A and B are shown apart, each in its own frame.
Chain A
Amino acid sequence: MSASATAESLTSLAARESRGGRRSAAAALVGPATIFVTIGLLLPIIILFRYSLNKFVPGRFMVDALTVENYILFFTDPYFLAAFYRTLRVAAVVTVICIVLAFPLAYKLARMESRYKNLLIMLVVLPLFVGNAVRAAGWMTLFGNKGFLNVTLEWLGLISEPIRIMYTEWAVIIGITAVNLPYVVLTLQSVIEGIDRAVEEAAYSLGANPWTMARRVLWPLALPGFAAGAIFCFILTMNAYATPVLLGGPQFVMMGPLVYVQFAVKNNWPFGAAVSFVLMSATLILTAAANIMVQRRYRG
């Protein structure tokens, strides 16, 4: 064996060893988090699915079984179907309003180059993390019979009796729209930031007015981003909890509160698990669809 061959095999051995070392280092770093999320999230979701196939016998609580009757019940019972359609209706209305309202603010933020930009983004983000219950409290101050809105309308002479806003579908729609707007604004902002400003200027220099530019240049380029933002908004509404409970009241049942009542009040774990699983499947499928759309357009 020649000396050079030995040296070569030694180097390759060292390289392999260091590659192995790096691999074990990587495993040691990411291992704990992976194990934690797998056992702490994936396993629970599997158990949830298993529970959804069990039977609920009043008086005897949960009985082991392998049946899809909880799912069938959800999609056939008029009460649950009504909650399902109500949720979809609210989600559709909120999504349309959010997309329309979010665009001007998102565009302004995306094209802004002042030092106030970060401050404005913080103002958009702050309500997100303050929590939905606190924001609902703000709307309750506005919507009550002696709330700001009714008092102002009466003072202006537009109404003579307070109008009922609390515990209506519109109160919930307004509340959830305000909750979701920051998410939609941030999604659209990042999409618009990814579109080169030069294409807008090119349109202007060719004689387009702002409306034509928006319709013929910006809109087609931003369309997948708009779709992703809309899907995101729809998902958030489907999973809303605090806002429908506080602004809609106990009679206004949407999917999120329905799951909670089945679990915590009715103790019907199998049915609660089934509804929860329907919610999660819809959420994950729609999220994947949104990701694919954004990736195909902006990263591919």
Chain B
Amino acid sequence: MSALISIARRRLGSWAFNGIAGAVLGFILLPLVFVTWLAFFRQAIPSFPPEGYSLKWFFAIGDNKKFVEGFLLSMQVAVAAMLIGLAIGVPGALCLARYRFWGREGLSSLLLLPLVVPGIVLGTSLYVFHVEAEIVTGLPVLGSVAAMVAGHILIVIPWCVRMVTASLAGFDRGIEEAAQSLGATPLTTFFRITLPVIRPGIVAAALFGFVVSFGNLEMSLFLVGPGRTTLPIAILQYLEWRIDPTIAAVSVLQILLIGAAMVATDRFVRISRVV
């Protein structure tokens, strides 16, 4: 009898534990659920219960110049930062993963540093850097798209390092040595052996680099020139005035875009292994 009670109690305890775990996951997702719900309201005021449902807010996004321009600038910057970031980040990651040399740990920390430095500090540092660069070179650096892309490259590089390192985990270097001992040149070895192994890492780095650049808010706040906004900044500035289904519809589009990029990333490098 007492054994039965103890089993029952343990069962109850484990249900409670699972319940709390589920509730916490729900709490994390709650804001996304509500902003999605709001996007389909018929009335313009976010009052509950909704008077009805409509898709009109999604069609109205195109009429708002700030969101369209912000989206286009975010796209432009994210694609450019992702491509350049890959071009310099992936070789760097490869070197850190393959060679053992003095100062390797320090170098690895340096390349991951942009992830540790808070966005606000990154933004202010780059801002004063651009001021000085403008004084020294005489070029219009401050607030230019090029300077913004350079800032975003910084936050793409650490993800290249992480993704490529993750894709090389468990890779047997003996295969490369075998190729070379069979007469392959280092270049052939790279293209026929190494590249296919790290290809998923590169694709994942491209997608994730795009995601972190596209979604960046804090650093970009300091880097946008007058009259320019990225999509996250346009969302923030709109929300400082009001919340309505229009902004919710824009948010839903951002959730869908980033969600799709993440699901695609997961096909190449398991998300659970890199975050």
14 contacts between A and B (CB under 8 A): A34-B111, A40-B153, A41-B154, A48-B129, A107-B17, A133-B239, A141-B46, A141-B243, A178-B27, A181-B28, A245-B236, A259-B124, A276-B121, A284-B117
Q: Which residue of B lies closest to A259 (CB)?
A: B120
Interface pair B128/A44, CB less than 8 Å apart: yes
Total contacts A to B, CB within 8 angstroms? 275
Interface pair B27/A181, CB less than 8 Å apart: yes
User: Chain B: residues with CB nearer than 8 A to chain A?
Assistant: 10, 13-14, 17-18, 20-21, 24-25, 27-35, 37-38, 45-49, 88-89, 91-92, 94-96, 98-99, 101, 107, 110-111, 113-114, 116-122, 124-129, 131-132, 150-151, 153-154, 157, 211-212, 215, 217-218, 221-222, 232, 235-236, 239-240, 243, 247-248, 251, 254-255, 258-259, 262-263, 266, 270-272, 275
Query: Given A242-B236, A263-B222, do A142 and B212 touch, yes or no (CB 8 Å)?
Result: no
CA distance A263 to B126 in the complex (A): 12
Interface pair A141/B99, CB less than 8 Å apart: no
Interface pair B24/A104, CB less than 8 Å apart: yes
Given contact pairs A30-B91, A241-B218, a sample of 12 additional A-B residue pairs in the complex whose CB atoms are under 8 Å apart: A47-B128, A48-B124, A123-B25, A127-B32, A133-B232, A146-B46, A148-B34, A151-B48, A185-B24, A245-B240, A283-B117, A283-B118
Contacts of A182 in B (CB 8 A): 28
Query: Given A30-B92, A44-B128, A210-B13, do A140 and B239 touch, yes or no (CB 8 Å)?
Result: yes
User: Chain A: residues with CB nearer than 8 A to chain B?
Assistant: 22-23, 26, 28-30, 32-34, 36-38, 40-45, 47-48, 51, 101-102, 104-105, 107-108, 117-118, 120-142, 144, 146-148, 151-152, 178, 181-182, 185-186, 209-211, 235, 238-239, 241-242, 245-246, 256, 259-260, 263-264, 269, 272-273, 276-277, 279-280, 283-284, 287
Interface pair B235/A134, CB less than 8 Å apart: yes
Among A22, A33, A147, A259: residue with most chain B CB under 10 A: A33
